[in-house]
Structures are given as structure tokens and as C-alpha cells.
């Protein structure tokens, strides 16, 4: 599960499953998510934390044996909580693809999280940073550029609660925050994962949010139900028309560069380096 190269770390769908639900965890591979996240944080009640660690540890071993090709993460409890060190000690394994850490607020915090992982023998595991507080958003750039952070995700519900705001159906209140995260991810050369849609039966909202997220530069979406996985995989995959356009642009622009040109016309469209880069991203999204 941890044997992924840097070119294989872009996943369109991340499916959460509660760490205290053994039967649910055993079914994770069925819906074929890009990656799975065993959750020890929000979906596990306080009184179930210890039990969840035991179940998670066993589930990691079982899933590694039965579905070793599946990318698997564990979301531990936030740094500074009483569960943080216990989660690392008892529910993290070096076969994981990475460790998800919620509510990261600063680069200094990432340093301390990395040190804690290293102290327990997990220094090679990359971190997915949860950006879901006002301080986390304010410091998004310094967090995303930390060498141990390979992904970041946006937690809209926690962010708006911390902000003292109100959630809106049109997501207008989190547009700036989502833009901050995607820009920070781009500067850190990592992948940005978009927020959950809590109503797992609302397919229309999920697809609309995913389309917005893709236009903002996100590469995938968090899923809380297996039915959302196929929606995310579809939404973040370019259409055949987009893929055909990208191939044409890349071929034409690279031919132009060999001729010493950096701006050319392809059909009625003028192509220069920014559009070429967008075409390269489209091709990569198609292949993942």
C-alpha cells in the first residue's frame, strides 16, 4: 500500500470509513476508491477511540494482504489532543500510503507531527494536512510547502464553525478558502483535495461541487459514502473531448518549441506556455 511513486499520488476519490467499524473497513476495496482513509477522528465517538485503534491495526494488516494495490491512509486525531500520540503508537503502520492529520494550524505544528512520527519509526510516511481552521487557512502556504506534506484537504464544516460563519447552499462563504488552498497546494507542488458533501444522496450537489473544485485546481474529493466514489472519479476525469484537445495542444506546442516558437495558433486558439501547462495537467488527470 505504501509503494506508490510520486507520479501515482494523485487520487480522484478518498473514501472515509470509521475506524471502529470492522465490517465497513473490510468492504473498503469494493467501491474501488482512488484511496481509502480509515478515520479515527470525527466519525469515532470519544468512548470508542481505543477500540478503533485496535480494529484499525487489524484492518490494515487484512487490507494489506487482500488489497495490497489499494492506497490506504489513517486519519489520526489532531495534534495537541490526548489521542494524538496513542493513535500514532497503536494505529499507524509503515505499509500505509500516508497519514492524514486534521486541523493543522502552522508549519511548526507540522515539524512536531513529523518528529512524533519519526520517533515511533514512521518518519518515511508523508502527511496529508487537514486545512480546516482559520489559522490553518491563514498559514496554508507554509504548511503546503513543508517537505513532509504531500496532500492537503479542505474541511469546510470545521472551518466555517471556527470562523463563526454560516454554511450556504451555494458555497459562496468558502470560495475564498478553497481558492487559498488550491493556490497553496500549487506553490507547494502537492495535491489539493476538496471538502465532503454530507448529504450522500445528493448526487447533483456532489457533481456540481466537484466541477467547481476541479476548476479551482483541486485534483480530488473526499467521500463519506461508497456511492460518492464513482461520482468523484467521473467528475475529476477529463472528457474524451478535453483529452483530445490536450494531446493536440501538447504535440503542436512541442513541435513549435523545436522550431524556436513559443506562441502558435491551433485552429482559432492562440497557444502559449500557460495553455500548454494546462493541457499537460489534463493529460495527467486522464491517466490517473
**For the segment 79-121, what is each residue's pLDDT rounded down to a tens digit?**
999 999 999 999 999 999 999 999 999 999 999 999 999 999 9
Whole-number Å distance between alpha carbons of 279 and 30: 32
Share of the chain residues as helix, strand and coil, in percent rounded to the nearest 5: 50, 15, 35
59 assigned to some structural domain:
yes
Sign of CA dihedral 163, 169, 173, 179: positive
The structural domain count of the chain equals 2
Closest CA to 32 of 232, 188, 210: 232
Question: What is the value of pTM for the model shown?
Answer: 0.87
Q: Which of 45-54, 188-197, 264-273 has the lowest mean pLDDT?
A: 264-273
Q: Could you tell me the residue range of the domain that residue 11 belongs to?
A: 6-235
Summarize pLDDT for 192-205 with one digit per residue, the tens: 999 999 999 999 99
Q: How many helices (H) and strands (E) does the chain have?
A: 12, 10
211 with 255, same domain: the answer is no
Whole-number Å distance between alpha carbons of 226 and 198: 13
Pairing of β 269-271 and β 264-266? antiparallel
What pLDDT was estimated at residue 196?
Answer: 97
217 with 247, same domain: the answer is no
Whole-number Å distance between alpha carbons of 37 and 55: 14
229 assigned to some structural domain:
yes
204 with 257, same domain: the answer is no
What pLDDT was estimated at residue 1?
Answer: 59
Looking at per-residue confidence, does 250 or 231 come out higher?
A: 231
Amino acid at each position: 500500500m505504501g509503494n506508490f511513486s510520486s507520479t501515482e499520488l494523485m487520487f480522484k476519490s478518498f473514501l472515509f470509513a470509521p475506524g471502529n467499524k470492522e465490517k465497513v473497513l473490510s468492504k473498503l476495496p469494493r467501491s474501488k476508491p482512488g484511496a481509502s482513509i480509515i478515520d479515527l477522528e470525527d466519525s469515532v465517538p470519544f468512548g470508542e477511540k481505543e477500540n478503533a485503534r485496535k480494529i484499525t491495526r487489524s484492518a490494515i494488516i487484512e487490507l494489506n494482504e487482500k488489497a495490497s494495490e489499494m492506497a490506504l491512509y489513517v486519519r489520526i486525531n489532531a495534534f495537541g489532543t490526548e489521542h494524538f500520540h496513542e493513535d500514532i503508537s497503536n494505529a499507524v503502520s509503515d505499509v500505509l500510503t500516508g497519514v492524514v492529520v486534521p486541523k493543522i494550524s502552522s508549519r511548526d505544528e507540522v515539524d512536531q507531527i513529523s518528529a512524533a512520527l519519526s520517533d515511533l519509526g514512521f518518519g518515511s510516511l508523508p502527511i496529508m494536512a487537514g486545512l480546516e481552521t482559520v489559522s490553518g487557512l491563514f498559514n496554508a502556504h507554509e504548511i503546503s510547502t513543508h517537505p513532509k506534506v504531500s496532500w492537503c484537504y479542505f474541511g469546510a464544516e470545521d472551518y466555517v464553525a471556527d470562523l463563526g460563519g454560516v454554511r450556504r447552499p451555494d458555497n459562496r462563504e468558502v470560495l475564498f478558502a478553497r481558492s487559498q488552498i488550491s493556490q497553496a497546494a500549487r506553490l507547494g507542488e502537492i495535491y489539493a483535495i476538496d471538502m465532503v458533501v454530507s448529504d450522500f444522496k445528493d448526487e447533483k450537489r456532489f457533481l456540481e461541487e466537484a466541477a467547481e473544485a476541479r476548476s479551482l485546481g483541486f485534483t480530488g474529493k473526499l467521500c463519506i459514502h461508497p456511492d460518492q466514489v464513482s461520482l468523484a472519479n467521473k467528475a475529476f476525469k477529463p472528457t474524451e473531448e478535453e483529452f483530445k484537445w490536450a494531446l493536440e495542444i501538447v504535440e503542436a506546442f512541442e513541435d513549435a518549441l523545436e522550431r524556436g516558437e513559443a506562441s502558435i495558433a491551433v485552429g482559432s486558439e492562440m497557444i502559449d506556455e500557460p495553455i500548454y501547462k494546462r493541457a499537460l495537467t489534463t493529460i495527467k488527470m486522464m491517466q490517473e
